[in-house]
Structure 1
Amino acid sequence: MADKKTDETLDEKIEEISIEGLAEDAEEFIGDPLAEDDELETIRAERDEFRDRFMRALADAENSRKRSERDRREAEQYGGSKLSRDILPVYDNLKRALDAATAEQREQAAALIEGVELTLRELLNVFSKHGITLVQPAVGEKFDPQIHQAMFEAPVPNTVAGDIIQVMTEGFLLHDRLLRPAQVGVSSTPAG
């Protein structure tokens, strides 16, 4: 009986050792599940951070592409604005020369006047070709501060305050931008 009891105790001990050994082996093989969860969360956080950085870099690259495309278009359209402004006095002088010619002078120097008119017309064609348009206000039109520059104000009978009463120089637009405002005189409220 003592043998039987010893065998049972021995069997229990072997089973106990086997179960503890298996648990230790399994833990060693599988690892700590809590540590794995932490490592997995760390990897997910890194992944999310890299995805966020990638998306930001992608958005920055797209914004840079759009900005450079816009800058290129603007340079193409408005790059010649300085040269255009420098040529405007040529137009003004040709126009003044034609306006200053009297009927008698036009008769005597018809070929010269025709040459100046042709030169002025060609200059306007070149302007048009490059997107430069003439702003020609007329006496009686309303003053528009977006395209006109008031050089003086004077009370003129039979006018309304804000009416153009004189045009000194014409203005110019380069595509949709003002290159030079038209210089005008504007009526103030007439003295009553």
Structure 2
Amino acid sequence: MSLLSNCLFVRQVLYRTGAFSPSTFMNASRLSTVFRYASTNSSAQEQKQNETTPSSADQPIENQTQTEQKSNVDLKQLQEQNAKLTEDANEFKDRYRRALAETENTRVRFNKLVNDAKVFGIQGFCKDLLEVADILNLALANTPQQPSTDITALTKDFNNLRQGLVMTEERMQKIFAKNGLVQIKPNEGDKFDPNFHDALFQAKIPEKTSGTIMQVMKTGYRLQDRVIRAAQVGVAQ
């Protein structure tokens, strides 16, 4: 039973028992009006609340829809990230292959340069030695194949040959010096130096100081500061 029905029932009981007076009737009417307004307002609020508040049956559907939408967004983002990472990986692979190819080409070029340096590194030195060969050929051309019986002619031929050999030696030493090749030619009596000299033998010589060079067997050579061949000498004890 609603609140309005209760009010009407109370008013009817009071009227039958005689306890209902005009003032009481007015108060009851007012009270009934208030109760009717309150009931109407309460019903309207309940209806409005029911309209604004989603039902428990609709909430799971809405939550499921929101979850699906969020999942679709996350899936799309993951697909975009995967595509970007795949593109970056392919780019890095391409760069790696290019770097390998460039490294291999550099290695091949470097090996070729090394081989060319080995083969043609002495090209300038060989070109300078051609002058020595020219001098030797000239000396041989001016020397008769058969020795002369004339002592004057024989002496002349010998002098020409010796002069050619001297010119060859001088020219060759100039070429050596030009290319950084210097003679190691010690004199007798010089102190033995194991850095530049190679002792082939030792002998006790009374008139020689111990540890000095008493004979030069072969001249040594050094290229710049590096000894190519030490001078071969005999050392006095």
Q: CA RMSD in A?
A: 4.9
Which of 96, 113, 118 aligns to 2:159? It is 113
Give the equivalent residue in structure 1 for 2:62: 15
Give the equivalent residue in structure 2 for 1:139: 188
Give the TM-score, by structure 2 length.
Answer: 0.44
Give the equivalent residue in structure 2 for 1:123: 169
Give the equivalent residue in structure 2 for 1:61: 106
Q: Secondary structure at the match of 2:169?
A: helix
Give the equivalent residue in structure 2 for 1:164: 213
Q: Give the 3 Å change call, closer, same or farther, for CA 73–186 of structure 1 in structure 2.
A: farther
Could you list the runs of 5+ residues in structure 2 that have no partner in the other structure?
1-45, 137-150
The structure with more radius of gyration: 2
- Asked if the contact 1:77/1:175 (under 8 Å) is kept, the reply is no
Give the TM-score, by structure 1 length.
Answer: 0.52
Q: Give the 3 Å change call, closer, same or farther, for CA 70–164 of structure 1 in structure 2.
A: farther
Q: CA deviation at 1:17?
A: 3.2
Aligned length: 155
> By percentage of residues, which structure has more strand?
1
Q: Secondary structure at the match of 1:152?
A: strand
Query: Among the aligned pairs, what percent are the same residue?
Result: 21
Per-residue CA deviations over 1:78-115 (Å, capped at 9, x if unaligned) read 986xx9xxx9xx9xxxxxxxxxxxxxx9xx93662353
Which of 31, 35, 60 aligns to 2:78? It is 31
Q: CA deviation at 1:175?
A: 5.8
Q: Give the 3 Å change call, closer, same or farther, for CA 181–117 of structure 1 in structure 2.
A: farther
Q: CA deviation at 1:145?
A: 3.5
Q: Give the 3 Å change call, closer, same or farther, for CA 31–180 of structure 1 in structure 2.
A: closer
- Whole-angstrom CA distance in 1 between matches of 2:104 and 2:196: 38
Q: CA deviation at 1:164?
A: 0.5
Q: Give the 3 Å change call, closer, same or farther, for CA 60–20 of structure 1 in structure 2.
A: same
Q: CA deviation at 1:138?
A: 0.2
Q: CA deviation at 1:72?
A: 4.6
| Structure with larger RCO (C-alpha < 8 A, sep 6+) | 1
Could you list the runs of 5+ residues in structure 1 that have no partner in the other structure?
91-104
